[in-house]
Amino acid sequence: MLAKYEFRKYYGNGKVYFARYLSPANLPHWHYDGEIIYAEKGNALVWADGNRFSLQPGDSIYLAPQQIHWISAEHDSILNLIFFDGALLPPKARNVRLLTPYLPQNQEVAELCAYLAKETRKKQDFHHALMEAKTCETVLLLLRRFPYENRPENKQKEVRYLALLEKIEAEYASIRFTDAVTFMHLTPAYFSSYFKAHAGISFSAYLNAIRVEKALPLIREGTLSMTEIADRVGFDTIRTFNRVFLSVTGYSPSTIPEGYSISSWQASSDVTAFDPTSANTTLLP
């Protein structure tokens, strides 16, 4: 699922999820949870609301709900990801975001990750409640220490951009560049710049990835010909489908590995393209 709402399932009755990932990479997405990203080892790039941040060991990113973002970590890098239900916070803190999400060498976040890792591993009595309390305390300390602003509920462009991502997901086979431009009420040039700044890739590259993602389950089902699949997901010719599929996945439609997912994409240092073969995201114990 590309650059749209991501549902986070918490374990048990807890409202905080903690995990360590090796070489994590994903595409632009958003969710209603708050998120903290902590660089434990190696370097990573994080894009948030069109801004690019470079993380080194000890650096963090704090993301408020509905902030569009994506991650690209170097090979063998380890990131700690914390997701939390915003309802844990007092009302005043639920609708604010830091003026800059980048937190270099933040000790509070480092201590929070160590604490959550221990509680997640041991799973002793009341560990959910303790994880929630510690996460809430840390977030409030961050909001007290760093400048913040109210979440821009009335930013029409941002609201329409989120709506556009939903529209692309629903109408991937028929939507065109001109449709997206009209929907956003922008000029073609400004739309191209705006979309790439927020998604990290061009509109056409993003749409192609969506279409290839939708083609994968149809290929695995094996009931349709490749020509029928190409037509169903929005490609005019089988030749275009084959070319785009190869450029997105690194494989032809007939040789795609079992279990391959578009979420295995990893952004390269050149944000004009993605390297679909270099990502190897692993959930660590």
Q: What are the structure tokens assigned to 67, written together?
A: 């902030």
Quick one: what percent of the chain has pLDDT higher than 90? 61
pLDDT, position 151: 73
Backbone CA torsion sign across 9, 52, 178, 26: negative
Domains delineated in the chain: 16-150 (2.60.120.280), 156-284 (1.10.10.60)
pTM above 0.75, yes or no: no
Quick: pLDDT tens for 11-59: 567 899 999 999 888 777 778 889 999 999 999 999 887 789 999 999 9
Which residues, 6 or more positions from 117, have their beta carbon under 8 angstroms from its beta carbon?
18, 20, 80
| Whole-number pLDDT of residue 4 | 47
Segment 245-261 mean pLDDT: 88
Rounded CA-CA distance 230/19 in Å is 37
Sheet strands (E) in 138-265: 148-150
Beta partners for residue 96, in sequence order: 150
